[in-house]
Structure formats: structure tokens, C-alpha cells
Amino acid sequence: MKTALITGITGQDGAYLAELLLSKGYMVHGLKRRSSMFNTDRIDHLYQDPHEKHINMKLHYGDLTDSTNLIRIIQETQPDEIYNLAAMSHVKVSFDTPEYTANADGLGTLRILEAIRILGLTEKTRIYQASTSELYGLVQAVPQSETTPFYPRSPYAVAKLYAYWITVNYREAYNMFACNGILFNHESPLRGETFVTRKITRAAARIAMGLQQCLYLGNLDSRRDWGHAKDYVEAMWRILQQDTPEDFVIATGVTTTVRDFVKLSFAEVGMEIEFKGEGIEEKGYVAACTNSEYQLEIGKEIVCVDANYFRPTEVDLLIGDATKSKEKLGWVPKYDLKTLVQDMMQADVELFRRDTYLKDGGHRILNYHE
Ligand code: NDP
Ligand code: GDR
């Protein structure tokens, strides 16, 4: 039985990866932060009572900013594979918390690599580092592949740049099996609510059901290469099963604007959306509903641009070239953009149906601040 340690197990990717590794017969250890409320929603279905004798998933309190705790957990668990997914992963928030982001996302990776070296596990333990298409930042060339130069555009991306290179350096200096997966945006029903896709699918479901009036967004023109997180965790695992450690781009090769993601999502609940114009300097109401299966007023404006969501420096265009992954890892995504949007919309419609019952019963429905 192989043993894996997943940092960030309570996040979107951590949850799907834990499920995948358990299905492959792994013993899975997860690093979890202490929080004032339960924070294991995404993995509760995998929970096993620690009082039972034979468990194959165990959570450990820890934090990427705490070396001694990382060393202890790695020593206790002796993992064959470490998936370093933990991070302050929100690009916009990293402008507000740059020092913490550098500590967790940059130095956190160093702490794990050093722990493995200190514990003499360099030959045993393989490491996956969650690198990102944000490294490409300001467009140098498209589509972006393993050889495209980096130009990070946020404190998050700069911290991840350090993590990328320290992973490469430890591989070369100490012969460690340490790899970067340069993953383009990937989404799912488990995506955090403040990332743009999930914000849109939640709002589309809620507006269609009469639970919300308007969706406030920032830059509608940025383009992202969006895939499904389920496909991407499969790639992470494949990267660590190779004979030699290498870095891989994981992407769909299709890019879409935020604007089009809005249209696709609302279309899933029978609402046609028309934008009034183009250009990121637009403020105020920008899109209206032109046709709806629900009892929505036609012409009602439901998308609004709020400049608070603009970033000081933006990444305008991401489109990945995953040829190497397809050839060497045999990685082929099962989802495309349409099936991704369908999966997310179905889940959010289901989620908010509950709120409509409450509303019909005369209860107050909370507004969500995103
Ligand atoms: P999430 O934000 O959903 O999850 C992040 C996880 O990291 C959570 O479990 C969070 O814990 C944990 N975490 C945050 N800070 C710390 C810390 N200081 N110590 C320990 N744990 C911490 O991210 P995703 O699942 O979407 O992404 C996984 C990784 O992949 C991240 O590193 C992200 O930067 C990277 N990435 C993501 C992409 C994407 O499109 N999703 C694309 C490319 C890279 P808690 O639940 O307590 O908040
Ligand atoms: P990103 O994802 O920054 O690409 O990072 P996010 O969904 O936050 O933004 C994508 C694009 O949408 C624009 N946008 C908005 N974004 C948010 N969050 N909220 C809004 O209201 C909004 N309106 C427009 C953004 O400006 C941006 O251009 C994600 C994270 O998962 C990172 O951890 C990961 O490394 C990268 O993807 C690849």
C-alpha cells in the first residue's frame, strides 16, 4: 500500500485527489489547518472515524508556515508521495496579503523540500508541486507550454515562481523526484465561491430562482483556459508515476472570456444574456436578460461591473499547450467547457433549490458577499 500526504486536502483539488488516491488503494494523510468552524465540507464524505482500527485516511493539524510541524508530520507518515496543494490561492487577495502569500506559497514549498532532505527521505519520497499558469502572466507567447518564459503579475504568482524554481533546484541539487505541474485554471462544483466561475454559476442559479438580483463582476474580457478539476488531479498522480521527474503543463487548449462564461452559465437555466458593449472600463449595468424560462422580467439588467474586482495588474490571456502531457503521461481530459459548465450549474441549481423552499416558507434568505 502506497502512502500519500496531501497538503491542502480541504481545498478543491485536495478533495478530488484524496478521492482518487483512496480509489487506488493509497493510505492518504492530509494536512488541515485549525479553524474556528468545521472546514472539511469537501472531504466529509471520505471521513473515517479515527477510532476505527483500519482507516486509510487521516487528517493532521498543520500549516505550511510552520516547519517543525511539517517535519514531524512527514516523519510520522513517511510518505511515498507528497502533493503540495496548500496555498493562499486567490490572486486578487494576494495583493492585500503579499507577505503572507510569499510565506505560505513560496517558503512553504521550501519547508517541505527541506523537511524531506533533513529526514533523509530524498530517495523515498516523490513531490508534486502545484505550479500555475499564473507564472506566464504578461503574455510572452501563446499557447503557453513548458518552454514559454514566465512573467508573473501578482504577489501570488511571484510566490509561486519561487516555489517552481526551488522545486527544480532541489531536483537538480539533491536528485529528488520533485515535479511541477503547471496547471491552467480548473473548476468544479467544489470550486471556492470567490473564484469567477463559481461566482457566476452560483449567481446564475440564484438569479434564475429569484434569490438574487444582480451579479457584480470585474474584468469581463480576460481569457482563461478552463478545465475540470477531476481531470486535473488525475494528471497530478500521473506526473508522480513517471520514471523520471519532469515538469508538465496541464490545460485544455481552449480559451474563453469571462463574458462568454457568463452567457454559457445563464443559458443552462434557460436565460439568454446580452451584453451592452465591450471593454473593461465599463462600469455599472452591462448585461440584461433577453429571454427566460423563469418568471424573470425581460430586459432586466442582471450583470454589473464593479471596479473593486479589478486587479492592479491583470493576466489577460491564458491558453495552454499540453502536448507533452498528452504524449508522455497519456493524459486526456474527459470534460470540455460545455460539460464543465453543465456540471457546475447542475450542482448549484440543486444547492439553491433548498433556499427557494425556505423563501417560499417565509424565511429570510441571506445575501452572499463575494
Ligand atoms: P483552494 O483554495 O481550494 O485550496 C487551498 C488549500 O490550501 C485549502 O485546503 C486551504 O485550507 C489550504 N491552505 C491555505 N493556506 C494554507 C497554509 N498556510 N497552510 C496549510 N494549508 C493551507 O485551492 P485549489 O484546490 O483550487 O488549488 C490547489 C493548489 O493548486 C493551490 O496551491 C493553487 O494555488 C494551485 N493551483 C490551482 C489552480 C486552479 O485553477 N484551481 C490552477 C493552478 C494552480 P483551508 O481549507 O483551511 O482554507
Ligand atoms: P485566477 O482565477 O485569478 O485566474 O486564478 P479567478 O477565477 O479569480 O479569476 C479569473 C479571471 O476572472 C476575472 N474576474 C473575476 N475574478 C474574480 N475572482 N471575481 C470577479 O468578480 C471577477 N470578475 C472578473 C479576473 O480578473 C481574472 O482575470 C485561479 C486560481 O485558482 C489560482 O490559484 C490559479 O493559480 C489560477 O487560477 C490558474
DSSP secondary structure letters along 109-161: HHHHHHHHHHTT-TTT-EEEEEEEGGGT-S-SSSSB-TTSPP---SHHHHHHH
Residue 52 has pLDDT above 80, yes or no: no
Shared domain for 128 and 271, answered yes or no, is no
Ligand 2 neighbour 224 (Cβ under 6 A): yes
Is 70 among the domain residues? yes
Residue 61 has pLDDT above 80, yes or no: yes
| Of 13, 111, 179, best ligand 1 pocket probe by most atoms within 8 Å of the beta carbon | 13
Q: How confident is the model at residue 368 (pLDDT cuts 50, 70, 90)?
A: low
Shared domain for 267 and 215, answered yes or no, is yes
Ligand 2 atom nearest to CA at 194: 18
Shared domain for 178 and 302, answered yes or no, is no
Domain total in the chain: 2
How many Å apart are CA 327 and CA 230, to the nearest integer?
Answer: 20
- ∠ at Cα 322 (5, 173), nearest 5°? 50
Residue 48 has pLDDT above 90, yes or no: no
234 a catalytic residue: no
Shared domain for 148 and 11, answered yes or no, is yes
Is 88 among the domain residues? yes
Query: Residue 137's domain spans which residues?
Result: 3-183
Shared domain for 92 and 212, answered yes or no, is no
pLDDT of residue 280: 62
Between 260 and 355, residue with greater pLDDT: 260
Shared domain for 141 and 219, answered yes or no, is no
pLDDT digit string, tens, across residues 65-74: 999 999 999 9
Between 301 and 246, residue with greater pLDDT: 246
Is 190 among the domain residues? no
Sheet holding 301-305, edge to edge: 215-217, 301-305, 284-292, 271-275
Binding pocket residue ranges, ligand 1, CB within 6 Å: 7-8, 10-14, 31, 33, 35, 39, 63-65, 85-89, 104, 130, 132, 183, 185-186, 192
How many Å apart are CA 259 and CA 121, to the nearest integer?
Answer: 48
Ligand 2 neighbour 109 (Cβ under 6 A): no
Ligand lying nearest the CA atom of residue 91:
2
Shared domain for 202 and 179, answered yes or no, is no
Tell how far the Cα of 258 is from the centroid of ligand 2, in angstroms.
9
Indicate the residue type of 18.
A
134 a catalytic residue: yes
pLDDT of residue 250: 99
pLDDT digit string, tens, across residues 299-338: 889 999 999 999 999 999 999 999 999 999 999 999 999 9
301 a catalytic residue: no
Mean pLDDT taken over the chain = 95
Shared domain for 161 and 295, answered yes or no, is no
Ligand 2 atom nearest to CA at 157: 35
Shared domain for 294 and 168, answered yes or no, is no
